[in-house]
Amino acid sequence: MIRDAETLHLLLETLQQFVNEALIPRENELAEADDVPADIVSQFRELGLFGLTLPEAYGGLGLTMEEEVNVAFELGRTSPAFRSYFGTNNGIGSIGILLDGTEAQKQHYLPKLASGELLSSFCLTEPDSGSDAASLKTTAVRHGDHYIINGTKRFITNAPHAGIYTVMARTNPDIKGSGGISAFIVERDTPGLSLGKRDHKMGQKGAHTCDVIFDNVRVPADQLIGGVEGVGFKTAMKVLDKGRLHIAAVSVGAAERMLNDALNYALERKQFGQPIAEFQLIQAMLADSKAEIYAARCMVVDAARKRDEGLNIGTEASCSKMFATEMCGRVADRCVQIHGGAGYVSEYAIERFYRDVRLFRLYEGTTQIQQLVIARNMIREAKH
């Protein structure tokens, strides 16, 4: 749903200009320093990017899902690490509070997240629990009006910068599966909470992840999201439904950027006496990529509209994430191929993008997890 076409158009125009003029020229700097420059972070705040999806009542822009995916198409055209910096505040770090938090929790945290005063992280993955999220081992044991949290969370995006963590932990050890899990908001300076060293990743330099370690961390009981035990896994899954659609949209934007770069290269690069864009084998790669990007874009917009209508989009979000991220990988590969040897050296952005986009097929649920979700939903519906 697009509430006002003109307002959205203005926002997209502003973002397009910002991406072209402020972000793309600084991609190498971001990668080399492995840090988002401080002045860029200030510009994120000024543009309201930390609160794109949070409701206006809490200081955000309150974008609908269809508006959000349009914004993600634009932001996807530059290094993913830029978007990642404010991505958790708009997505996995805040949405659990928004969807299932108490009004007091929303009032307390969402305005600070929307303004970018506070950053948030989503703590689900553990050393021994990745795809099998319901097997997580972190515990939260109630002691009077507190919970004591123990465990380790792994690969946590933005953990080094976050002021709060939404943490999935087992409150009922007798229930081994998802029903024993609850979600908490844990503040960074709570005693016992510490961070591991930063992970050295294949790509997405400038987006930081690390372990978050809980050693007898005492959290007030009113930090339990929604005040209800045992529903933390469902909160996490709802958060991921939305997050997966967002990642699909970012993948579309990234693929568009890579294809645009490859097209420009193919028009300039001459071999056998003419631009390589004139050769049909290059044209096939351009055409296949164009068609696949178009297909992914249509899927993402359709799924976003359905979410705005209030429909359950678990299947559509997984279809979009699976197709768009795999498409993005294929496009990255073809675009390296179009660049030839030049695609393998860091002078061209495609070398960096090739590594950066590899993560899309892994985080917020691997392709194989999306397949599992889609097929399970199909089977469940068929049985009804």
Binding site for ligand COS (CB under 6 A): 124-125, 131, 133-134, 178-179, 233-234, 237-238, 240-241, 314, 363-365, 369, 372-373
Nearer CB in complex with ligand COS: 183/369: 369
Tell me which of 67, 229, 256, 364 is the catalytic residue: 364
CB of residue 198 to ligand COS, shortest distance in Å: 17
Nearer CB in complex with ligand COS: 125/289: 125
CB of residue 47 to ligand COS, shortest distance in Å: 25
Residue 68: active-site member: no
Nearer CB in complex with ligand COS: 60/93: 93
Q: How far apart, in whole angstroms, are the C-alpha atoms of residue 357 and residue 361? A: 8
Nearer CB in complex with ligand COS: 207/266: 207
Nearer CB in complex with ligand COS: 261/316: 316
The CA-atom distances, in angstroms, between 76 and each of 31, 142, 173, 198, 356 are 16, 42, 41, 24, 11
Among 101, 217, 98, smallest CA distance to 169 is for 217
User: What DSSP designation does 129 have?
Assistant: B
Whether the CB-CB separation of 83 and 50 falls below 8 Å is answered with no
Whether the CB-CB separation of 100 and 64 falls below 8 Å is answered with no
Q: How far apart, in whole angstroms, are the C-alpha atoms of residue 233 and residue 254? A: 30
Whether the CB-CB separation of 287 and 374 falls below 8 Å is answered with no
Q: How far apart, in whole angstroms, are the C-alpha atoms of residue 135 and residue 139? A: 11
Residue type, 286: L
User: What DSSP designation does 156 have?
Assistant: E
DSSP string, 12-56: HHHHHHHIIIIIGGGHHHHHHHTS--HHHHHHHHHTTGGGSSS-G
Which residues are known to be catalytic? 364
